Amino acid sequence: MRMYCRQIFLALALLVSFTGQVLAAQDADNLKALTSQLIAANYAEKEQLAGQIAALDDERVLPILSALLEGELFYKKDDEQILIVKGDAINNAFSGDAVDVPGKRDKKKIGVNNSLRGELRSLIARAQINSRKESVRLDAAANLLKNSADVELTLVNEALAKETSSDVKDILSLVRGLILLKSEDQAERITALELLDGSLYPEVRASLNQFISGFSEEEIKTRKTEYTAATKSLASIETLVEMNGYIENLYFGLALGAVLLLAAIGLAITFGVMGVINMAHGEMIMLGAYTTYVVQQLMPDHTGLSLVVSIPAAFLVAGAVGVAIERGVIRHLYGRPLETLLATFGISLILQQAVRSVFSPLNREVATPDWMAGTFMLNPALELTWNRLYIIIFSLLVLATLALVLKRTLFGLQMRAVTMNRPMASSMGIRTGWVDALTFGLGSGIAGIAGVALSQLTNVGPNLGQAYIIDSFMVVVFGGVGNLWGTLVAAMSLGVANKIFEPIAGAVLAKILVLVFIILFIQKRPRGLFALKGRAVENG
CA atoms of 123 and 91, how far apart (whole Å): 23
Of 276, 398, 259, 248, nearest to 332 by C-alpha is 276
Widest distance between CA atoms in the chain: 100
- Going by C-alpha positions, the residue among 324, 336, 349, 351 that lies closest to residue 277 is 336
Q: Are strands 89-92 and 107-109 parallel, antiparallel or unpaired?
A: unpaired
Question: Quick one: pLDDT at residue 326?
Answer: 87
Q: Is 335 left (phi over 0), alpha (psi -120 to 50) or beta?
A: left
> What is the reported pLDDT for 287?
92
CA 65-68-74 angle, 5° bins: 125
Give the per-residue pLDDT at 449: 92
In angstroms, the Cα distances linking 258 to 248, 263, 462 are 15, 9, 22
DSSP state of 82: E
Which residue, 258, 253, 319, is CA-closest to 453?
258
The DSSP letter of residue 299 is S
Q: Are 97 and 91 in contact (CB under 8 A)?
A: yes
Cα–Cα distance for residue pair 190/194, rounded to 1 Å? 6
Rounded CA separation 377/382 (Å):
6
Supply the pLDDT for residue 286. Answer: 92
pLDDT at residue number 458: 83
In Å, what is the CA distance from 172 to each residue of 36, 122, 152, 238, 381?
35, 16, 12, 22, 18
Residues 6+ apart with CB under 8 A from 67: 73, 84, 93
At CA 469, angle to CA 464 and CA 474, rounded to 5? Answer: 145
**With contact defined as beta carbons under 8 Å apart, do 246 and 456 qualify?**
no
| Cβ count within 10 A of residue 342 | 14
Residues of the chain falling short of pLDDT 50 = 2, 4-5, 8-9, 11-25, 27, 534-540
Supply the pLDDT for residue 438: 86
* Residues whose CB is less than 8 angstroms from the CB of residue 70 and which lie 6 or more positions away in sequence, other chains included: none
- What is the pLDDT, as a whole number, of residue 293? 92
* 98: DSSP letter: B
- What's the rounded Cα separation, in Å, for the pair 59 and 42? 26
Q: How far apart are the C-alpha atoms of 42 and 475, rounded to whole Å?
A: 73
Cα separation, 259 vs 17, in Å, equals 59
Q: Is residue 268 within 8 Å of 476, Cβ to Cβ?
A: yes
CB 254 within 8 A of CB 491: no
**Which run of H or of E encompasses 107?**
strand 107-109
Cα–Cα dist 369/303, whole Å: 5
The reported pLDDT for the residue numbered 415 is 79
d(CA 305, CA 397): 19
* 0.85 exceeded by pTM: no
pLDDT of residue 538: 43
For residue 89, the 8-state DSSP code is: E
Q: Identify the pLDDT of residue 12.
A: 46
> Exposed/middle/buried for 210, CB within 10 Å: 0-12, 13-18, 19+?
exposed
Q: Hey, what long-range contacts does 397-402 have (CB within 8 A, 24 or more apart)?
A: 398/262, 398/265, 398/446, 398/449, 399/261, 399/265, 399/484, 399/487, 399/488, 402/265, 402/269, 402/446, 402/484
Type of residue numbered 118: G
> In the chain, where are the structural domains located?
23-123, 244-506
What architecture is the 244-506 domain classified under in CATH? Orthogonal Bundle (1.10)
Q: Measure the CA dihedral 46/48/53/55, to 10°.
A: 160
Q: Give yes or no for a contact between 280 and 348, defined as CB atoms under 8 angstroms apart.
A: yes
Q: At what angle do helices 134-146 and 114-129 cross, to 10 degrees?
A: 130
| Contact indicator for 198, 233 with CB cutoff of 8 Å | yes
Per-residue pLDDT, 24: 41
pLDDT of residue 536: 40
